[in-house]
C-alpha cells in the first residue's frame, strides 16, 4: 500500500536530560520507515506543540523520567486542544507511576510505554493506530 | 605449580587437543541454554584461558605490586586491609529538611560518607521559582536554591568529621562555595574539609546532558576550581571524572573506560595551559565508574583504568609525585541494568555489580536500590542497598586480601585486552585534536548512540537475556514507592521568598555585579562566587550573571 510516511515527533519536555530511550525510539521508528523529528532536550510545552503543528506530525511521543509529567502533560494536551491540533495522537514513555496512568489517559494520552517496552511494540502500535489514508 | 617459565610444549599440545577433541566434540552433542558467550558489551569470551594466554607476561611490569607503579593491583599497599571502601550512598529528595533526616538515618545505619543528589532545577542552575522548575521541585533530588537550604541540609552534621560528594556540574563552583560557607559557619576551616564535586562538564556534553555554558567557558570554570582548591581547599577533590553516565547512556565497557580517561587527559591539558603545575592539581583529580552486569569485564575495566592513568600521568605528562599517578575512584552500580519487572531481582543484580567494584579495588561505592526504575529510594530500599555493601565487606571474605582475582588467566588477559582497546580509542581522539573537538564533531555521542541501539536490538531479539523481561516473565507485583507531593514545591517556594526578603538586596546586587565583571575579565571567579553565596544570592542569580558573560550551549540534534 503506497502512502505517506507516518510522521512522528519525539519530544523531551521539562528539564529531564535522559535521552537514551528517546534516541533509541527515534532510530527504531526511522528504521521502520517513519519520518522522525527529535526535539532535543528541555523543551517547553509551547515549543513541543508549535513544532508538532509546524512539522505536521501524526504522532507525538513524549519521553520523561523526572516525575514532572503531572504538570507538563496537562499543559501539552490543553495547548494542543487550544490550537485545534488535538487530532495528533499523543503517546508517552519513561518513568510514569502506574497510579498516574488513568489520569494521563483521561487527558487524552493514547498509550503509555513503561520501562521494558520493546521498540517493535511501539512501532506496531503506531502503525495500527494511525488513521490510514487521511487527506492532509 | 610453576608459573612464568616458557611453556612446555605439552601445555600447547594438550590445550589444542582438549579444545578440538574434548570440548568441541562434547558441544556437538549438546544443546546449551546459553547460546551467546559475549559480555554485555559484545566482547567475545573464549571457553577457557590458560598460561598460554599470558605468554611473556611480566608480573612487575604489567601489574606491579599494590601501591606500586603502574598500580594495576591497587593504588595503596594496604587497600581494604587498612580501610574499607567508603560506603557512600547517593541521596537527596524533597526539601533540605527531608534529606537531612535521610542523611542522619543512613549515617546511623553505617554509611561512612555522604553524597548529595540535587533536584533538576539545581542541576541546571535555576531556582525553584523559575518557570522551567514547575513540576520538578524536589522530585529527582533535594531542592537547593541558596545557602539557607545548604545550612539546613547539613544541620547537625559535623563537616570536619565527614566527607561529602556532590553530584553537580555546571553550577559545581556555586554549590562548593555554599558547602565551604556552611563549614565556616560550623567553625571548620576550608583547609580541613574534604569531599568531591563532580564538576565534569565533558561527560555532560557526551552523556548526562546537564550542561549550561559552552565548552570553552565551562573548561575555564573548572580550571578555576582546580586552582582555587589547590591553594585554599587542599583536601577537596575538585573533579570526579566520570564514566558512569557514559555507560548508562549506552556505551560499551571499553568506551566508558576510554572516554573517561580521555576526558581526564583533556582536563589536565587545559589546566597545564593555564599554567598550573601538574603535581599541584593532579593528586586531587578523582574518577567515577559504573559497575555494570558483566562481572569480569568490570573488574578488568577498573584494573586497566588504574594502569592506563598511571602511565598517562607519568609518561605523557611527566608528573613526578606518585600521588599524581594514582587513579582514585568512586563506583556506582548500574541504574540502567535494573528492571521494573520483578523489582526484587534488582537486589541480586546490585550485589553482583557491587562485588565487581570491590574486587576491582574501588575507593568508594554506591549501591542502587531495588526501586530504582520507579522512584527515588524508599528508606527500606536504601537500607537494603547499604546492607549489600556491609555483607560484602564483613561476610564474604573478599576484602581479606588485595586484588584477590589477580593472576587469573582470564582476568589478566581481559585486563590487557581492555587496556589495548581503550588506548586505541584514546589515540583516535588525540588524532581528532582532543576531546572538546571530538565532542564538537559528535564522535563520542554517536559511538554511544550506536552501542545503545545495538544493545536494545540484542535484547529484543533475545540475543541478550534479561531475567524477568524477555525471559522468566511473570505477572507484575507492585511495590511501595517514595512519593514526592506538591507540598514540597509550596514549602520550597516559601523558603525562597523568605530568603529574598530577609537578605540585604543592595549588597547582593553589588556582589553579583562584581562576579559578572570578574568573569568578563577572566579572573578566577571562585572568591567572587563565595562572596555572592555568603550574601544569600541564589543559585539562579549567580548562574544568570555567569550566563550573561558565557552564553548558553545548544546541543546539535542527533540520534
Chains A & B: contacts with CB separation below 8 Å? 90
Cα gap B382→B368, rounded to integer Å: 8
pLDDT (tens digit, 9 = 90+) per residue, B466-484? 999 999 999 988 999 999 9
Task: Give B290's strand partners.
Answer: B332
The answer to whether ipTM exceeds 0.90 is: yes
Confidence band (pLDDT; 50, 70, 90) for A132?
A: low
Please indicate whether, in this complex, the C-beta atoms of B250 and A14 are within 8 angstroms of each other. no
Please indicate whether, in this complex, the C-beta atoms of B135 and A69 are within 8 angstroms of each other. yes
With 90 as the cut, is the pLDDT of residue B280 above it? yes
B286 closest CA partner among B321, B336, B340, B323: B323
Taking a C-beta distance cutoff of 8 angstroms, is the pair B437, B443 a contact? no
* 3-class secondary structure, A63: strand
Percent pLDDT > 70 in chain B is 99
Residue B522 contacts A, CB cutoff 8 Å: no
Say which of B135, B248, B481 has its CB closest to residue A14: B135
Searching chain A, which residue's CA lies closest to the CA of residue B453?
A24
Across the beta sheet with B114-117, what order do the strands follow?
B90-91, B114-117, B164-167, B195-197, B236-237
Please list every residue in chain B whose beta carbon sits closer than 8 Å to the beta carbon of residue A36.
Answer: 559
Please indicate whether, in this complex, the C-beta atoms of A115 and B250 are within 8 angstroms of each other. no
Please state the rounded mean pLDDT for residues B184-195.
98
Domain locations in chain B as residue ranges:
9-54, 60-79+198-368+377-460, 504-550
Taking a C-beta distance cutoff of 8 angstroms, is the pair A91, A101 a contact? no
CATH number for the region A7-128 comes to 3.40.50.280
Between B174 and B4, the more confident residue is: B174
Domain locations in chain A as residue ranges:
7-128
pLDDT (tens digit, 9 = 90+) per residue, B411-450? 999 999 999 999 999 999 999 999 999 999 999 999 999 9
Q: Which of residues 49-88 of A touch B (CB under 8 A)?
A: 66-72
The long-range contacts involving B429-432, CB below 8 angstroms and separated by at least 24 positions, are B429/B258, B429/B259, B429/B262, B430/B262
With 50 as the cut, is the pLDDT of residue B542 above it? yes
With 90 as the cut, is the pLDDT of residue B2 above it? no
Residue A24 contacts B, CB cutoff 8 Å: yes
Residue B557 contacts A, CB cutoff 8 Å: yes
Q: Minimal Cα–Cα distance from B328 to chain A, Å?
A: 27
Residue B469 contacts A, CB cutoff 8 Å: yes
Residue A116 contacts B, CB cutoff 8 Å: yes
With 60 as the cut, is the pLDDT of residue B232 above it? yes
Q: Minimal Cα–Cα distance from A117 to chain B, Å?
A: 9
Please state the rounded mean pLDDT for residues B13-24.
92
Please state the rounded mean pLDDT for residues A113-136.
86
Confidence band (pLDDT; 50, 70, 90) for B559?
A: confident
pLDDT (tens digit, 9 = 90+) per residue, B315-349? 999 999 999 999 999 999 999 999 999 999 999 99
CATH number for the region B60-79+198-368+377-460 comes to 3.20.20.240
Residue B254, CA distances (Å) to B62, B218, B424, B425 in order: 19, 26, 10, 9
pLDDT (tens digit, 9 = 90+) per residue, B409-419? 999 999 999 99
Please indicate whether, in this complex, the C-beta atoms of A24 and B456 are within 8 angstroms of each other. yes
pLDDT (tens digit, 9 = 90+) per residue, B196-229? 999 999 999 999 999 999 999 999 999 999 999 9
Percent pLDDT > 90 in chain B is 94
Say which of A40, A66, A98 has its CB closest to residue B557: A40
pTM, two decimal places: 0.96
Please indicate whether, in this complex, the C-beta atoms of B136 and A98 are within 8 angstroms of each other. no
Determine the pLDDT at residue B9. 77
Amino acid at each position: 500500500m503506497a502512502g505517506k510516511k507516518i510522521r512522528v515527533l519525539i519530544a523531551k519536555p521539562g528539564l529531564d536530560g535522559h535521552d537514551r530511550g528517546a534516541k533509541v525510539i527515534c532510530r527504531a521508528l526511522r528504521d521502520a520507515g517513519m519520518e522522525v523529528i527529535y526535539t532535543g532536550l528541555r523543551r517547553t510545552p509551547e515549543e513541543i506543540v508549535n513544532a508538532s503543528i509546524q512539522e505536521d506530525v501524526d504522532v507525538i511521543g513524549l519521553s520523561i523520567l523526572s516525575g514532572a509529567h503531572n504538570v507538563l502533560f496537562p499543559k501539552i494536551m490543553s495547548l494542543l486542544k487550544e490550537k485545534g491540533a488535538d487530532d495528533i495522537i499523543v503517546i508517552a514513555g519513561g518513568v510514569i507511576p502506574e497510579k498516574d496512568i488513568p489520569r494521563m489517559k483521561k487527558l487524552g494520552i493514547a498509550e503509555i510505554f513503561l520501562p521494558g517496552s520493546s521498540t517493535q511494540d511501539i512501532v506496531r502500535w503506531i502503525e495500527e493506530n494511525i488513521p490510514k489514508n487521511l487527506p492532509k | 605449580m610453576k608459573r612464568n617459565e616458557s611453556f612446555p610444549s605439552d601445555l600447547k599440545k594438550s590445550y589444542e587437543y582438549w579444545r578440538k577433541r574434548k570440548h568441541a566434540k562434547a558441544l556437538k552433542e549438546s544443546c546449551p541454554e546459553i547460546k551467546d558467550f559475549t559480555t554485555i558489551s559484545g566482547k567475545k569470551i573464549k571457553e577457557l584461558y590458560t598460561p598460554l594466554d599470558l605468554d611473556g607476561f611480566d608480573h612487575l611490569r604489567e601489574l606491579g605490586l599494590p601501591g606500586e607503579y603502574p598500580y594495576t593491583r591497587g593504588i595503596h599497599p594496604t587497600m581494604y586491609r587498612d580501610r574499607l571502601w567508603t560506603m557512600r550512598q547517593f541521596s537527596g529528595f524533597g526539601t533540605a529538611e527531608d534529606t537531612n533526616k535521610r542523611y542522619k538515618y543512613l549515617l546511623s545505619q553505617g554509611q561512612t560518607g555522604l553524597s548529595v543528589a540535587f533536584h533538576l532545577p539545581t542541576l541546571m542552575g535555576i531556582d525553584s521559582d523559575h518557570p522551567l522548575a514547575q513540576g520538578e521541585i524536589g522530585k529527582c533530588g533535594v531542592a537547593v536554591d541558596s545557602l539557607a537550604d545548604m545550612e539546613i541540609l547539613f544541620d547537625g552534621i559535623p563537616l570536619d568529621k565527614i566527607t561529602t560528594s556532590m553530584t553537580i556540574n555546571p553550577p559545581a563552583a556555586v554549590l562548593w562555595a555554599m558547602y565551604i560557607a556552611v563549614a565556616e559557619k560550623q567553625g571548620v576551616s576550608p583547609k580541613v574539609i574534604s569531599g568531591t564535586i563532580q564538576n565534569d562538564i565533558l561527560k555532560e556534553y557526551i552523556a548526562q546532558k546537564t550542561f549550561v555554558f559552552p565548552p570553552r567557558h565551562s573548561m575555564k570554570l573548572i580550571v578555576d576550581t582546580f586552582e582555587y582548591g589547590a591553594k585554599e581547599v587542599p583536601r577537596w577533590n575538585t573533579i570526579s571524572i566520570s564514566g558512569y553516565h557514559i555507560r548508562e547512556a549506552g556505551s560499551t565497557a571499553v568506551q566508558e573506560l576510554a572516554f573517561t580517561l580521555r576526558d581526564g587527559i583533556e582536563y589536565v591539558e587545559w589546566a597545564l595551559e593555564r599554567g598550573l603545575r601538574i603535581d599541584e592539581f593532579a593528586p586531587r583529580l578523582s574518577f567515577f565508574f559504573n559497575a555494570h552486569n558483566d562481572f569480569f569485564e568490570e573488574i578488568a575495566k577498573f584494573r586497566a583504568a588504574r594502569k592506563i592513568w598511571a602511565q598517562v600521568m607519568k609518561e605523557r605528562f611527566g608528573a613526578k609525585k606518585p600521588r599524581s599517578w594514582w587513579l582514585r575512584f568512586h563506583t556506582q552500580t548500574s541504574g540502567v541494568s535494573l528492571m521494573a519487572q520483578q523489582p526484587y531481582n534488582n537486589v541480586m543484580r546490585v550485589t553482583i555489580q557491587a562485588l565487581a567494584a570491590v574486587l576491582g579495588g574501588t575507593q568508594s561505592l554506591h549501591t542502587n536500590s531495588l526501586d530504582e526504575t520507579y522512584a527515588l529510594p524508599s528508606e527500606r530500599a536504601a537500607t537494603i542497598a547499604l546492607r549489600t555493601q556491609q555483607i560484602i565487606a564483613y561476610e564474604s571474605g573478599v576484602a581479606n586480601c588485595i586484588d584477590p582475582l589477580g593472576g587469573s588467566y582470564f582476568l589478566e588477559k581481559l585486563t590487557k585486552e581492555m587496556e589495548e582497546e581503550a588506548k586505541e580509542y584514546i589515540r583516535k581522539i588525540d588524532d581528532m585534536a582532543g576531546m572538546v573537538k571530538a565532542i564538537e564533531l559528535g564522535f563520542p555521542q554517536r559511538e554511544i548512540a550506536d552501542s545503545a541501539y545495538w544493545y536494545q536490538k540484542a535484547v529484543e531479539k533475545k540475543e541478550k537475556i534479561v531475567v524477568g523481561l524477555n525471559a522468566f516473565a511473570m505477572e507484575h507485583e507492585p511495590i511501595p514507592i517514595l512519593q514526592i507531593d506538591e507540598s514540597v514545591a509550596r514549602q520550597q517556594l516559601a523558603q525562597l521568598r523568605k530568603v529574598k526578603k530577609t537578605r540585604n538586596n543592595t549588597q547582593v546586587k553589588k556582589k553579583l555585579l562584581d562576579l559578572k565583571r570578574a568573569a568578563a575579565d577572566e579572573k578566577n571567579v571562585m572568591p567572587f562566587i563565595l562572596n555572592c553565596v555568603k550574601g544569600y544570592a541564589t543559585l539562579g542569580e549567580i548562574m544568570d550573571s555567569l550566563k550573561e558573560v558565557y552564553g548558553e550551549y545548544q546541543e546539535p540534534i542527533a540520534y
